[in-house]
Amino acid sequence: MGSFFSSSSSETEPEVELDEDGNPIPPPPKIEIFDHNAVRHCLDEQVGEALKNKLGYETDYYDLKIKLVVMAVASLFALLGQFLDKIFPSMPFPENRYYVGFCVLMYFVASGFLQILYSLGEENLMWKSVSHSETGITLLLKVVMEYTSDKYEVTFEYYNGDDKDNKQSVTETWDIGNYFDKHGNVHVYGIETAVINMHKKIVKSKIKKTQ
């Protein structure tokens, strides 16, 4: 990973934190800080949780359902082409070559459709919300974290309701070392605060636009 891990060698185990009511906050998640994938996954998860739990956004499952259906169809054609001679023993290869070819073609069509969806704005997309019940904002979370990098780039793309043509964005680059200690404990409150502060820029932008 990056060089941020070495800067916290003198830290001690974190003390128990208290919430606004004086109640102990549950221990933060703990990860292996030298595992790039674990760090990336943890940050992605915590940012998404902050958007849902602190800002009231809800996950949009519609696009996910479409992709799952397309993936299931692609897998079905792949399995059908693989075991066609066993499903229809009266029509062994090469007599069934045209049917096998059709299954292969449909598999690549379905896979190509998924690639088209990815290229049309879903690159680096980690999470998408439905329209917020109060603000009417639809928000897309996109992140970039290069391998061995100690920087985490967060982008909130947003638009009002279904007005995708007027999509805007807010981007920040975070220093990963600000959200983990040397023991791998995650600074959840710090991530939540960073997410909330980013979201304030969206709200301010919306207010200026309506004035």
Measured on CA atoms in the order 114, 165, 124, 148, is the torsion positive or negative? positive
Find tokens 């299954």 and name the residue: 103
Taking only the tens place, the pLDDT of each residue in 10-54 is: 445 556 666 666 677 667 788 888 888 899 999 999 999 999 999
Q: What b/e readout covers 168-193, taking b as 16+ CB neighbours within 10 angstroms?
A: eebeeebebbebbbbebbbbbeebbe
Q: How is residue 33 written in tokens?
A: 């800080």
pLDDT over 90 at 199, yes or no: yes
pTM: 0.69
Q: Which residues is 157 bridged to in the sheet?
A: 140, 169
Q: Report the chain's terminal Cα–Cα distance, integer Å.
A: 46
- For the beta carbon of residue 149, count every other beta carbon within 10 angstroms: 15
Q: Is the pLDDT of residue 190 over 50?
A: yes
CB 33, CB 179: distance < 8 Å: no
pLDDT band of 204, cuts 50, 70, 90: low
Whether the CB-CB separation of 171 and 29 falls below 8 Å is answered with no
Q: What's the whole-number mean pLDDT along residues 122-142?
A: 86
The band of 9, judged by pLDDT with boundaries at 50, 70 and 90, is very low
Average the pLDDT over each of 163-167, 181-185, 192-196 and give the range with the smallest value.
Answer: 163-167
| pLDDT, mean of residues 113-136 | 80
Does the 29-60+129-210 domain belong in CATH 3.30.160? Answer: yes
Provide the residue ranges of all domains of the chain, joining segments of one domain with +: 29-60+129-210, 62-119
Q: Which residues are paired to 152 by β-bridges?
A: 174
Give the distance from CA 139 to its chain's centroid.
12
Asked if pLDDT for residue 162 goes beyond 70, the answer is: yes
The confidence band for 207, taking pLDDT boundaries of 50, 70 and 90, is very low
* Per-chain mean pLDDT for the chain: 81
Q: Which one, of 150, 182, 200, 137, lies nearest residue 43 by Cα?
A: 150
Does 129 score more than 60 pLDDT?
yes
Which has the closest alpha carbon to 168: 133, 129, 202, 128? 202
pLDDT digits (tens, 9 = 90+) for 49-101: 999 999 999 988 887 788 888 889 888 888 887 777 777 776 677 777 788 88
Q: How many residues does the chain have?
A: 211
**Average pLDDT estimate for 135-164:** 88
